[in-house]
Structure 1
Amino acid sequence: MTTTSPSRTPHPRRWQILGLVGVAQLMLILDVTVVAIALPHMGADLGLPRGTLTWVVSGYTLAFGGLLLLGGRAADLFGARRLLLAGLLLFAAASLTAGLATTGPMLLTGRVAQGLAAAMLSPAALSLIVTIFDGDERNRALGIWSALGGSGAALGVLLGGLLTAGPGWAWVFYINVPVGLVLLFTLRSHLPAQPASTTRAVLDIPGAALVTAATATLIYALIRAGDHGWITWATAALLLVSVVLYAAFAVRQRLAASPLMNLRLLTRRPVAAGTLLILVATALMIMMFFLGTFALQEHHGYGALTTGLLFLPIALSTMLGANVAGRVIGRTGARTLAVAGLAIAAAGLAVPAIWNGAAAMVAGMAVAAAGTGALFVVASATALGQVAAHEAGLASGIVSTFHEFGASLGAAVASSIAALSITGTGTEGFTRGFTTGAIVAIVTAVAALLITPGSHSK
C-alpha cells in the first residue's frame, strides 16, 4: 500500500464522501443484477428477441469493462472529481434514456451509455478514496468499498423484483435518475477542488477501441451461434476477427506512448491465475442469474417479485462464501481455496442440470454461489497480493476489466446454449446451460491447480 505524508490534514468530510461514492458504486454494481430479473418483461413489452435481451446485459458490462482502464487514465489526467461528477450526470441521463425506451436500439443505446458512465465513475471514485484517506483509515475505507460487490448483487435481485412487479421494468432505470442527481449535487459541494494535471500523458483511445471491439465481436459470435449453429463458417470468421483484434490491441499496447495496460503483468503467474479466476467466477455468476431468471419466470411461472425473493439466498450465499474465504485463505492458501471454490460451484450447478424443479434449481445455485463468492476473494488476493506498490493500480484495473468481460461472456454463452428454452421451447436448454457451467468450473479447477501459486510461491 502506498503511504502518504503524515503531515497532511485528513479531509474533514472523508467519511461522508465515502458514503456518497459508495452509494454511487453500489448503483453501478446493482445495475447488472437488477436488470436480470426484468429481462423477460422487457422482452415481452418491447418485442425483443433473445439476442437483444442478451445485449441488454452484455452491452452494459462490455462498455464498462472495455473502457474501465481508459476511465482510470482519464481520472489521472483530468482529475477524479471532474470525472466523477461527469460520470454521474451521464449515468442519470443514460438511465432515463433506457427507461423511456420504446424500441430495442433505444434501450441498448441507454445501456451502453450507462456502461460508459460507469467506466468514468468507478475508477474516479476509487481514486478519490485513496486520495482523501491515509494509513489504517484507508484500509478500512477500501474494505468497505470491496464489500459493496456482494451487497450490490443481493440488493439488485430483490430491488429488481420489487420494481418490476410494482411500477414496471422501466423503473429499474428510472430509480437511478434521482439518486444520481442527488449524489451529483451533494458531492459537488463536498469534494475538494483539484488542481489541473501537469502530466503530458495522453489517452490511448485506439487501444480502448480495439479491446472493446474485439470483445464485442467475440460476444456477437457467441450470441449468433445460438440461432445459427456453433460450427459454421460465419461463427469461425467472427472468432477469427476477434482474435485479430485482440492481437492488434496487444501490438498497440507495445507501441503506444501511454498504453492502457502493461501486458507483461499478464505473463506473471499470480496475475494470470487471478484474472482467469475472476473471469470464470463472474461468468458463472451471470450465467446463473441469466438462466435462473428465465427458467423461474418463463418455465416455472413465478412472478418478478417471487423470483427476486428466490434469488436473494443465492446472492447472500455469494457474500457468505466471500466472507469465509477472506477468513481462511491465509491458512489454506490460494490454490487450495481456488480448487475448492470451483469444485463447490461445479457441484451446485450439477444439481439443476440433473434434477428438474424450482427448489432444486434454487438450492443448486445457492451452493454454486458460495463457491463463486470464494473465487472472487481468491482472484483478487492472488492477482494483487504480490505486485509492487507502483503497479497496484494497474493490476486492480486489469482485474476489474476481466470482471466485466466475464459478465459479458457469461450472459452470451448462457443465452446461446439455452436459446430455445429462453424463447419458450422446452427446458433442455436450461439443462445444457447448467451442465456447461459445471463443466467450465471443473476444467478451470484443473487449470487453477496447475497455475495458481501455492502459499509459498512467488
Structure 2
Amino acid sequence: MVASSLGPPPLAVPHPRRWAALVLLCAANFMIILDSQIVILALPAISADLAMSPASAQWVLSANLLAFGGLLLLGGRAADLLGRRRMFLVGTALFLAISLLSGFAWSAGVLIAARALHGVSAALMAPTALAILTDAFPDGPDRHKALAGWAGIASFGAVTGLLAGGALTELGWQWVFLVNVPVALIMLVLAPVLLPESRDRDQPRTFDLAGAATSTGALVLLLYAIVLVPTAGWLSTRTLALLAGAIVLLAAFVAIESRSKAPLVPLHLFRSRSLVGGNLAMLAVGMLPFGLSVTMSQYAQTFLGLSAWDFGLRQVVMPLSATIGAYAGHALVTRWGVRAVAGAGMVAMAAGALLLLITVAAGQWRLDTFAGLAVFGAGMGVATVAAATAALAGVQRAHAGLASGLNTAALQSGGGFGVAVVVTVIASFSTIATGDEGGYRAGFIACAVIALVTLAITWTLLRSRPTADID
C-alpha cells in the first residue's frame, strides 16, 4: 500500500534527551571509524613485533572486515527484535573486552581472532546506534542535522586516526587498541541513562535462522572474494568460486525469505525506490573514498616519495572537507531534496578525482592537489547525508535496525569493492611505456567513472522528497 507520509511516524512524545543521546551514538561511530584507521597505520609495527608474514598481517584487517560486513544484517535485525539499546550495550561490552584482548595479544593468532570478534562487536554497535538515532529523530530537519553529525563525526574519526595513529604506535602498537577502553567504559555507563529502549513489539521474537545463515554466508563469501582480488585477480579460480558461492547463497536467501513467516529481511522493503537508491548511493560513497585513498597513497609514497606521516598530514584535507560537507548537507537536503544533493555530491567527487590527474601530469604535490582532495571530500560529505536520508526515510520504525544494517553493509561492502576495483585498474594500466604513472592516472579516472555511473542510477531511482513506497 502506498503511503504519503515521510518515513517513520513521529514519536508521541519526543525523547527528552535525544540530543545528548546523539552525542553518545556519534561517539560510538567515531570509535569504530577511529579503530579501523589506527590499525591500518599500526600494521607494520604489529607485523614486526608478532613476526607476521605479509599474508597473515592482512588478516588483522580482513578478519574484522569479514565479521563486520557478514553480520551487519543479523545485528540490525537482532536490535529490532531484542531491543536496540540492549544490543548496543552488548556490542559495546564486547568492544571493550576485545580491545583489552587485542592490546594484550601475545601472538598473531590471538590478535587475528580478536579482530574477528571486534567485527562482531562493530556489527552490533553500528546498525543499532543508527537505528536508535532514526527512532529518536523523526524524519525532517532534526533528523537531517542528526545524520549530518553522524557522518561528520565519521570523517573526524578518520582525521584523528591519521593524526593519532603514528603517535600511539610510537608509544607501542598495543595502545591503538587500549585507547578504546576508557571510551567504551564511559559509553556503558551513560547508555542506560541517555538512550531510549525500542524494539519491534509486533513481531514474534524468533529468528529466521535459515535466512541468517544464507545471508551471512553470502556476505562473507563476497567480502572474502573482494579481499583476495588484489593478489589473486578477478578471474582466478578461487575468486570465481567464491563469487559463485555468494550468488548461490544469495539466491537461496531470496527463496527462503519469500516463504518465511518471520523473515530476516522482508523482501517487500526493496519495493522502496528510496531505500534501494539510497543504498546504491551509499555503496558508491564506500567505494570512492577507499578507491581514491588507495590510489593517492600508492602514488604519493611510491612515485612522489612521501613518508607515511607526511602523506597522512597532507591527506587530512579530504576528511576535514568531508566533515564540513556533511554539516552543510543537512541544510541542503532540507532545501533541495535528496536527489539533487546526492547528485551534487557525486559530481563533486568525480570532479575531485579528475583534478588529481593534474598532480600525476605535474609529477609533484601542488596546490591543485589539495583542491582536488577538498572538492572530493566535500562531495563525499554531502553525498553521505543524502544517501543515508534517502535509505532510511521510507522505513517503518519496526524495521529501523534492519534498514540501518543494510545501509552500513552497503558502506562496508563498497569500501572493499572500491579497493579491489581500483587496485585492479592500476595494475592493468601500468605498462612498460607509461610505467606506474599510467596506472595511477587510470585509478583516478576509474573513481570519476564510478561517481558518474552512480549519479545516473540514483538520479533515476531517487525522488527529491522521498516517500515511504510501502507500508
* Same fold? TM cut 0.5: yes
Aligned to 1:346: 350
Specify whether residues 44 and 264 from structure 1 end up closer, same or farther in structure 2 by C-alpha distance, changes over 3 A only.
farther
Specify whether residues 388 and 439 from structure 1 end up closer, same or farther in structure 2 by C-alpha distance, changes over 3 A only.
same
Specify whether residues 208 and 108 from structure 1 end up closer, same or farther in structure 2 by C-alpha distance, changes over 3 A only.
farther
Specify whether residues 289 and 111 from structure 1 end up closer, same or farther in structure 2 by C-alpha distance, changes over 3 A only.
farther
Unaligned runs of 5+ in 1: none
Aligned to 1:73: 77
1:209-248 → structure 2 map (5 Å cutoff): 209-248=213-252
Supply the distance in 2 between the matched residues of 1:40 and 1:363 (Cα, whole angstroms): 30
Q: Quick check: 85-94 or 212-221, which moved more? A: 212-221
Aligned to 1:285: 289
Q: Secondary structure at the match of 2:171?
A: coil
Unaligned runs of 5+ in 2: 1-7, 430-434
Within the alignment, does 1:433 sit opposite 2:437 as a pair?
no
Q: 1:33 aligns with which of 11, 30, 37?
A: 37
Q: 1:156 aligns with which of 141, 155, 158?
A: 158
CA contact (8 A) 1:207 1:259 kept: yes
CA contact (8 A) 1:100 1:170 kept: yes
CA contact (8 A) 1:18 1:141 kept: no
Deviation at 1:101, TM superposition (A): 4.5
CA contact (8 A) 1:50 1:419 kept: no
1:56-455 → structure 2 map (5 Å cutoff): 56-101=60-105, 104-126=108-130, 140=142, 143-144=145-146, 146-165=148-167, 166-187=170-191, 200-297=204-301, 300-353=304-357, 355=360, 356-359=363-366, 361-387=369-395, 394-417=402-425, 429-453=439-463
Deviation at 1:22, TM superposition (A): 3.5
- Kindly provide the CA deviation profile for residues 219-277 of structure 1, in whole angstroms up to 9, marking residues without a partner as x: 33334333333334443333222211221222222233322212232233222211110
Supply the distance in 2 between the matched residues of 1:157 and 1:218 (Cα, whole angstroms): 29
Q: CA RMSD in A?
A: 3.9
CA contact (8 A) 1:338 1:378 kept: yes
The normalised TM-score by structure 2 is 0.79
Q: Quick check: 63-72 or 276-285, which moved more? A: 63-72
Specify whether residues 52 and 258 from structure 1 end up closer, same or farther in structure 2 by C-alpha distance, changes over 3 A only.
farther
Q: Secondary structure at the match of 1:67?
A: helix
Supply the distance in 1 between the matched residues of 2:54 and 2:447 (Cα, whole angstroms): 20
Supply the distance in 2 between the matched residues of 1:134 and 1:238 (Cα, whole angstroms): 40
Supply the distance in 1 between the matched residues of 2:349 and 2:340 (Cα, whole angstroms): 14
Supply the distance in 1 between the matched residues of 2:107 and 2:426 (Cα, whole angstroms): 24
Aligned length: 450
CA contact (8 A) 1:270 1:453 kept: yes
The normalised TM-score by structure 1 is 0.81
Q: 1:3 aligns with which of 10, 14, 18?
A: 10
Query: Identity of aligned pairs, percent?
Result: 34
Q: Secondary structure at the match of 1:73?
A: helix
Supply the distance in 2 between the matched residues of 1:191 and 1:455 (Cα, whole angstroms): 29
Q: What is the letter of the counterpart of residue 379 of structure 1?
A: A
Q: Secondary structure at the match of 1:252?
A: helix
Deviation at 1:278, TM superposition (A): 0.5
Deviation at 1:314, TM superposition (A): 0.5
CA contact (8 A) 1:211 1:249 kept: yes
